[in-house]
Structure 1
Amino acid sequence: MRQLKMQVQRQLKRNLEQANHYFNKGFTPPTVSYAVRGEKAGVAYLQRNEIRFNPVLLAENKQAFIQQVVPHELAHILVYQQFGRVQPHGKEWKMMMEQVLGVPAETYHCFDTRNVIGQQFAYQCGCQTHYLSIRRHNAIVRHQRRYICKQCKQTLTFKDNL
């Protein structure tokens, strides 16, 4: 894992140099941690100037992760530093990915997530079955949250016949 983290740092440095050269300025390098769990490969915290990566997906997808996810998350940070708050995957981010970093502007990864998903719970609405994480399931059971389908606007109900 140490070797992979060093490769991530090298990729970040290369991409930062590309952006510095393109814009003729010195962007502030983000801090990096490996604290993302679940299906997300990475998350950029704009105001904190921080990127968090999923260590399991990094270990399982090595080069593809480094070539896709690292520039993707850094692009969010760079866009925020250059343009301020804009659409997360809007025209500024696409330009940063393609013209500045030379990477296809893909918004989702296609990594196998079976090893990071965890237990899922089936919930039903009027139009489909939704699979919720244990965290969301527990929030419903404890009457702390309720979830509504984005399509049919109905409240999700537990489907206990699995």
Structure 2
Amino acid sequence: MTLITPIIPITPAQQQQMIAEVERYIAIGGRHFGRVFEPIPVLFDLKGRTLGMYKIQRRKRVIRFNPWICAKYFDDSLATTVPHEVAHYLADILYGLGNIRPHGSEWKAIMALFGADASVTARFSLEGVPQRVIRRVDYRCGCRDHQLTIHRHNRIRSGKASYLCRSCGGPLRLAL
């Protein structure tokens, strides 16, 4: 039996280093586009399989990072994830999220400006990184068994949703 050593989240010093990189990329964008971009809050509260995320929460822009994956792949996070998320931020300010594709030509141009790899996703081993386990509930239709997330199960129970099988079109019923 192999024991998996849990990953320890990044240190406060590493967090400051990542925040400094966010600020550096924002400054590069500011010089290139000839304007001042507001500083953006950087949080280290992301969980699960996602390394980084640019998000608008309650009308406020924020960049979030997963402190466990950043710890495991710190240098890669600085080189790829930080510019990736800052590029989303700048593309939003410059063009508006509703007007462009998330990883479209505008975003790719900003990544090129940063000299960063414009790959959309990274392939890292998540061994030792805390993962959220999503419970599933067994349902059946006329042709087979289905596993619905607990969220969908609760929506069915509360009468807010019903789901049909994509194969036979029959309603999904709780398996007893």
Compute the TM-score of the two structures, normalised by the length of structure 1.
0.75
- How many Å apart are 1:153 and its aligned residue? 9.7
Counterpart for residue 127 of structure 1: none
Q: CA RMSD in A?
A: 3.4
What is the aligned partner in structure 1 of residue 125 from structure 2? Answer: 112
Deviation at residue 141 of structure 1 after TM alignment: 3.5
Bigger-Rg structure (1/2)? 2
From 21, 32, 36, the counterpart of 1:26: 36
What do the CA deviations read for 1:137-159 (whole angstroms, capped 9, x no partner)?
Answer: 2223433667789x97979x8xx
Gaps of 5+ in 1: 125-129
- 2:85 counterpart letter in structure 1: E
Does 2:87 match 1:65?
A: no
Structure 2, unpaired ranges of 5+: 1-10, 140-145
Give 2:104's aligned residue: 90
- Taking a change above 3 Å as real, the CA distance of residues 49 and 119 of structure 1, as seen in their structure-2 partners, is closer
> Residue 78 in 1 paired to residue 78 in 2?
no
* 8 Å CA contact 2:135, 2:149 repeated in 1: yes
Cα distance between partner residues in 1 of 2:68 and 2:92? 27
Q: Deviations over 1:87-133 (max 9, x none)?
A: 111100000111x2110111102222232334366789xxxxx9x8x
Residue identity opposite 2:91 in structure 1: V
Which of 1 and 2 has higher RCO (CA within 8 Å, sep 6+)? 2
Classify 1:148/1:11 alpha carbon distance in 2 versus 1 (closer, same or farther; 3 Å): farther
Change (3 A) 1:102 1:141: same
Conserved 8 A contact 2:52-2:66:
yes
The amino acid of 2:16's aligned partner reads: M
- 1:32-73 residue CA offsets vs partner (Å, 9 max, x unmatched): 111211111111124522111111111111110111111111
1:83 to partner: Cα distance = 1.3
Instruction: Name the amino acid aligned to 1:56.
Output: W
* Counterpart contact for 2:134–2:150, Cα < 8 Å: no
